Chains A and B, each alone.
Chain A
């Protein structure tokens, strides 16, 4: 019996996955465990391994097509086996709104990897000008890119005057997901914001001293913040919670997400059980996650289950900002830069390293007083991280 290659479910709520790229072609020999395709879910991009050894056959889903979870996308034939006539059991790629040319019904002839529609002239002009026709919106029949579409990108033969295509190129899954989730959060969760200027001097000193110790050389402000936030959340379980079906549900773990900007949007890998990890474990985990985010190799478990999110724009010189909640989480911390400021201490002006923390809350879960107490705890921990110093 040929072994079916199916679109796996990588997340609880995942309904479909997109075949980003076939890593093997029809007729290729594959080894069990070797990557055969790259798929993209609403959260991550993952390589999927061959479920058996043999010959890959019956590739029926073109790159870029969405396939329902559980759908058979190919089969692996043992030696001597032939592709069954009706195999694999029909998977119709789901046509998504963002894909301009509808995915052709895949018959046995396989239209996998069909290149974008473009006239010969448009293709030649695009090649001459270094423009990717796939990135252009076509004005021709069936969305075909015509010469005028290439010319209207505004890039002359000398490559000068970068222009903008008349309609934006198709967005990546990460950006689309970000757009959907921030819209949903903004439209459903009543946001409110509490800000507090905190003295980050101790935080800086703490980092400096910790870094001198073996195993802690790469500790960052973010790692310290993860640790402090986790400690604060442990004391305020009503903040480590979410609104669910008309009620407040407290999370069982303290899982702190870190917002990471990548090329095509924003991802939030999660440090699970952050309250129970040692600082150096937080550092190690954070390094793994950020690296995976930057290389696009985050796994579903790396981005799922977050109960709180930290977003730090200090490195961009931002003094303070208010973040959109990362639903269904009830709170997100927005961290501004640490800057030397003159503050009054006991009636005297002094220069201190200050930072403005702003926490956004979902008012269905946290009210002003509870939010303020959480922020107070966090500020106290930042200014006096006693007991958390390893």
Chain B
């Protein structure tokens, strides 16, 4: 994966991997606020299988970086209880597929408690988990289930694509007073990008235009941003100017930036790695169709994971998700340059 050109290395920045950026965000927040702690499977000595949290247990000790048994429902319940009683827990769910086990605590409890208590209770719970296919992890470890979570009012959903975004948004998530789920694509942990030396926090609900263009808008989430950037390079060679909008957070959603881009170019493809039907792609496409209708020169397209379980066979798995080639081909069709 190439780095987005939109954020160039500048004085006062370093190249970090997305993994390092998340680690740095957690460390900074834990130093800043003693109520922040981490709980999850293999988060301490192992630093997670992806090594994102390496070194944190050494600095903050096993009391604040807690290895849990394999029980996502239990961990999330612990996290929610702690959150409601004054802590700022970060619950680590190793694979997004197991968000299904978190759902009762998250959907029926965490998402509702602030509302049902008339605002008297808060649940400053952050859940960090993963999404994304093509890691050859088969059907139960390859899903992108962020749409399930984004569907529920009361939960904020963050999908960072770059190290810069990941760090700034993660810090914002921890500081939120109600539940936030951060989905990181497990294929992006090694992606490098510039991150300022100085501390910063990015607001939730502000999209980022990763590339400016005139002919077609690609609204891309998470690692699909890189698919879009590669497609844009291909398309530029064909004389098609591509604008890429990364919503960065699904909830809250920066409708204005997405719609403004679609209105500017008149054509939009929404690229998201969740399943196509009833998903994030459908929601973003509907938003564009509703609010940019009279500026659209072509139907809004969705490019998502196929509506099938993600296959283990690498050959088949690669067919189920959008690629730069398929996105570029779809964009060419849309602008009439097949």
A residues with CB within 8 A of B: 119-124, 139-140, 146-148
Contact = CB atoms under 8 A, between A and B. Distances in A.
Interface stretch (B55-63, B253-261, B288-296): B288-296
Contacts of B132: none
Contact of B293 (A120, A122, A139, A140): A120
Interface of B: 266, 293-298, 336
A147 B334 CA distance: 13
Contacts of B266: 119, 121, 147
Contacts of A121: 266, 294-297
A339 B230 CA distance: 77
Contacts of A123: 294
A124 B266 CA distance: 12
28 contacts: A119-B266, A119-B296, A119-B297, A119-B298, A120-B293, A120-B294, A120-B295, A120-B296, A120-B297, A121-B266, A121-B294, A121-B295, A121-B296, A121-B297, A122-B297, A123-B294, A124-B294, A124-B295, A139-B336, A140-B297, A140-B298, A140-B336, A146-B297, A146-B298, A146-B336, A147-B266, A147-B297, A148-B297
Contacts of B336: 139-140, 146
A217 B274 CA distance: 85
Give the interface centre of A120, A122, A140 by most chain B CB atoms within 10 Å. A120
Contacts of A147: 266, 297
A122 B294 CA distance: 8
Contacts of B298: 119, 140, 146
Contacts of B294: 120-121, 123-124
Contacts of B293: 120
Contacts of A140: 297-298, 336
Q: From DSSP, what is the main secondary structure of chain A's interface residues?
A: helix
A189 B202 CA distance: 83
Contacts of A146: 297-298, 336
Nearest to A146: B297
Closest 9 CB pairs of A and B: A124-B294, A121-B297, A119-B297, A147-B297, A120-B296, A120-B293, A121-B295, A146-B297, A121-B266
A155 to B, nearest CB: 18
A121 B295 CA distance: 4
A139 B338 CA distance: 13
Contacts of A119: 266, 296-298
A147 B335 CA distance: 11
Contacts of B295: 120-121, 124
Contacts of A148: 297
Contacts of A122: 297
A139 B294 CA distance: 18
Given A119-B296, A120-B294, 14 more contacts: A120-B295, A120-B296, A121-B266, A121-B295, A121-B297, A123-B294, A124-B294, A124-B295, A139-B336, A140-B297, A140-B336, A146-B297, A146-B336, A148-B297
A127 B73 CA distance: 57
A119 B293 CA distance: 9
Nearest to B333: A141
Contacts of A124: 294-295
Nearest to A118: B297
A358 B297 CA distance: 55
A79 to B, nearest CB: 44
B271 to A, nearest CB: 21
A147 B266 CA distance: 9
A116 to B, nearest CB: 15
B296 to A, nearest CB: 5
A136 B295 CA distance: 19
A124 B294 CA distance: 6
A123 B296 CA distance: 10
A153 B63 CA distance: 72
A140 B266 CA distance: 13
A121 B266 CA distance: 7
Contacts of B297: 119-122, 140, 146-148
A45 B266 CA distance: 41
A144 to B, nearest CB: 9
Nearest to A124: B294
A122 B296 CA distance: 8
Nearest to A123: B294
Contacts of B296: 119-121
A140 B336 CA distance: 7
A184 to B, nearest CB: 38
B6 to A, nearest CB: 27
B240 to A, nearest CB: 14
Give the interface centre of A119, A140, A147 by most chain B CB atoms within 10 Å. A119
Nearest to A149: B297
A140 B333 CA distance: 10
B25 to A, nearest CB: 42
A114 to B, nearest CB: 17
Nearest to A148: B297
A146 B295 CA distance: 11
B180 to A, nearest CB: 36
A306 B298 CA distance: 52
A306 B266 CA distance: 56
A243 B199 CA distance: 97
A140 B297 CA distance: 9
Give the interface centre of B293, B294, B297 by most chain A CB atoms within 10 Å. B297
A13 B295 CA distance: 49
Give the interface centre of A121, A140, A146, A148 by most chain B CB atoms within 10 Å. A121
B300 to A, nearest CB: 11
A75 B299 CA distance: 38
A120 B262 CA distance: 13
A137 to B, nearest CB: 14
B21 to A, nearest CB: 40
A146 B296 CA distance: 9
A121 B264 CA distance: 11
A93 B297 CA distance: 30
